[in-house]
Amino acid sequence: MPSSTRSLRILGVDPGLTRCGFGVVDMDATRKASLVRVGVAGTQAADSLDARVLHIQEHALAWMRELRPDVMAIERVFAQESVNTVIGTAHASGVVIAAAASLGIPVAWHTPSEAKAAVTGDGRADKASVGRMVTRILGLEAMPRPADAADALALAICHGWRSGGLGTGYDMTAGVQTHQGSIPARATRTGLTPAQRAWREAERSGRRGAGSGGVGRR
C-alpha cells in the first residue's frame, strides 16, 4: 500500500510567447507543496513566429522529459484587452499542451482567478500578492521572478489543492466560456495513471490518519 507521504509532481505553466513560465512542485497527500524547479522560457519579438513557438515547445519538452511530472496544469486562455497578446498566448499554450500530450502527461486547465483564489483567497489579487503567497506556501527565501514564474507555481499549487492533483479527473472550468467561444459541456472523469492512483490512495490514507484531513488556506 502506498505511503501517506507519496507525492504527486505537478508542472504549472503560465503560457506566453515573450515569457512562458514553468514551475514544478511536489505535493504530498496532506497537500503540502515543495518546490522542485521554477523558470521562464523567453523569446524575442523580432524573431519569426515559427522560431519562437519552436523554442517554447522544445523548452517544455526538456522540462517534461527531465522532471517527469504526473500532471500539467496550464492557464486557460481568456480574451484580454490586447488581441495580439491573446493570440501569442494561445500559440504558446498550444505547443505546450501538444508537448504534454506527446509524452502522455494529463493536462488540466485553470483560470487566472482560480489560481489567485487558491493561493491568496482572492480571485482578483494582483501579481505581487500571488508572488508573496507562493513564496510563503513553498517556504522560499526569495520571491520567484519574473511574475510569470510565480504564476506558474500558483497554477501548480492551485491544481493540487483544488482538484486533488489527480490529472484531469475533474475539470474546474466546466461551463466557463473561453475566448474561442467554446463551453465545456460538463466536468468529466477520466482514467488515472498508476502514479495518480497511488497518490489518491496515499491521500485517502493521510486523511484517515489525520482525522478530518482538511487543508487550511495558508
Give the whole-angstrom CA distance, residue 179 versus residue 33. Answer: 31
First to last CA, the chain: 30
- Tell me if 26 is assigned to a ligand binding site: no
Give the whole-angstrom CA distance, residue 116 versus residue 119. Answer: 6
Cβ of 114: how many Cβ atoms within 10 Å? 23
Told to judge if 122 belongs to the known catalytic residues of this protein, a careful annotator would answer no
The helix-helix angle for 147-162 and 112-120 (nearest 10°) equals: 80
Told to judge if 126 belongs to the known catalytic residues of this protein, a careful annotator would answer no
User: Which one of the listed residues 26, 75, 151, 171 is annotated catalytic?
Assistant: 75
- Tell me if 50 is assigned to a ligand binding site: no
Contact by Cβ (8 Å): 56, 20? yes
Radius of gyration of the chain (CA): 17
- Tell me if 14 is assigned to a ligand binding site: yes
User: Which one of the listed residues 70, 114, 148, 203 is annotated catalytic?
Assistant: 148
Told to judge if 148 belongs to the known catalytic residues of this protein, a careful annotator would answer yes
Element holding 90 (H helix, E strand)? helix 83-102
Contact by Cβ (8 Å): 196, 9? no
25 phi/psi in degrees, rounded to 5: -130, 150
Contact by Cβ (8 Å): 162, 114? yes
Annotated binding residues for Mg(2+): 14, 75, 148
Catalytic residues, by residue number, are 14, 75, 148
Annotated binding residues: 14, 75, 148
